[in-house]
Amino acid sequence: MSVQTLRLDGESLTLEDLAPLAAGQTLLLQVPDEVFARLQDSRRMVEECLASGEAVYGISTGFGKLKNQAIGPEDLEELQRNLVLSHSVGVGAPLSDAEVRIAQVLRLNSLLRGVSGIRPELAHELIELFHAGFVPEVPGQGSVGASGDLAPLSHMVAAYMGFGYARVWGERMPAAQALETADLPPMKLQAKEGLALINGTEVMKAIAVCNVLRARNLSKAADAITALTLEARFGSVAPFQERLAELKANAGQSRTAQNVRACLQGSQVLESHRDCDRVQDPYSLRCVPQIHGAFKAALAHVEELLRAELNAVTDNPIVDPKTDSVYSAGLFHGQPLAVTQDYLALSLCTLANVSERRIEQLVNPDLSGLPGFLTPQPGLHSGLMIAQYTAAALASENKAYAHPASVDTIPTSANQEDHVSMGMTAVRKARTILDHTERILGIELVCAGQAREFHKELQAGKGAQAAHTVLRTLVPPLEEDRYLHPDLEAGRALVANGELVRAVEGQVGPLLA
């Protein structure tokens, strides 16, 4: 299989460009010669500052509270080395390889804007490390999202220098050994370069990219699973009419309704419901266009802001050849990411909550009209009774994680950094809620699939049937009680890895996120 090429110029990176990395694939990076040439002007300004003896933050001074401490020319390389090592204080479980690979690309892309003062040679080194499959081990905790992701990015750069641990094509080893395996020398940083590599929001941004891509898939999966639940629960398609979306004037509602209608096309089950005496479905079915639509609207807003961030400069100081000025500003502050990822987390909770309520509609015989807890022999067998407990536990836990990180701040660096974003906390919390929501929707898929077994004589809609069929490749019908953990794991996997959405789209065409 041919490897895709990703062109980087600091200005045109997209979410779609990064999707292969999020999926665990590899890419070849290509940087035009004129982009490398752009770096020379900014680097020349750094060299001129050094030659003049002028005190410029981060170039010839200490950092943070130590900004007034002048550093002699003979110590500038050691200053950069010490900066990286002293800031490598992350703790906790490491980030995934996909998240680190995306962070590597994002940091390089930002540096290629040509206002960070690095040498073109350093950009070449970063590309060589990426192509060698060199993935630093980066602990997930320790960033307050103020001067960027100082601790996580420092671990990344420390590995380039031969400290800590790294993976080379998936094999974990000490970073020094990994460099030898990749046949690359330890990185040596010159003036300003250590600061340029660690002063950025690219780690929280990388996790945000993965979160948004996963949320896109989840948005489609939720609609497809809802269609199967409607089939299983003999729900009404009436609330999903396009006219109602027009009256509401909400684009997210319209996309949800369109997805569900597509999945229900050709359904005999819903046709059989036409003359029944049920006046209204419960809100967890009837209000899906509004509830899922609100999630879609939130996701669209989060995605719009993230797209802008992908090509943003997040360094400090900014060495700008265009204005011939060095700016000590705050472009590394993570508040834009923190706020939007909190928004994503909150909207994901709603998606999880309504899925858990649909699970209850399926398993509760007083609500469903189906055998209790979807087992053919209620009483002797408990069926999927406790699967709803698991969904309830996860939905409840989400609420604890939904407290916004972006409203918090603890001053750092002796009050020099007196307001921080907690952006890394925001993206990690959103990631956890994504994990839980994928599991809850996986449970709904398993329950809806089992409920369909009780009226399989009626043909389901094309999309709903595709969801049921792909489920049955991993989860057989529940005839009697069995060890259910693998069933729920299989449901989660079908949702999380996109296989469910691909199967449905194979029958009904592209779904709308």
- Give me the active site residues, please: 57
Return the number of other C-beta atoms located less than 10 Å from residue 485's C-beta: 9
| Three-state SS sequence of 384-437 | CHHHHHHHHHHHHHHHHHCCCHHHCCCCECCCCECCCCCHHHHHHHHHHHHHHH
Q: Which two tokens stand for residue 40?
A: 């020379």
Q: Which of 82, 24, 102 is nearest to 306 (CA)?
A: 102
Handedness of CA 415, 422, 89, 100 (dihedral sign): negative
Cβ–Cβ under 8 Å, residues 276 and 325? no
Cβ–Cβ under 8 Å, residues 345 and 431? no
Q: Which of 48, 76, 71, 74 is nearest to 61 (CA)?
A: 71
Verify cis geometry, omega within 30 degrees of 0, for the bond prior to 317.
Answer: yes
Cβ–Cβ under 8 Å, residues 220 and 511? yes
How far is 513 from 507, CA to CA, in rounded Å? 17
The phi, psi pair for 314, rounded to 5°, reads -130, 30
Q: Which of 94, 62, 98, 95 is nearest to 80 (CA)?
A: 62
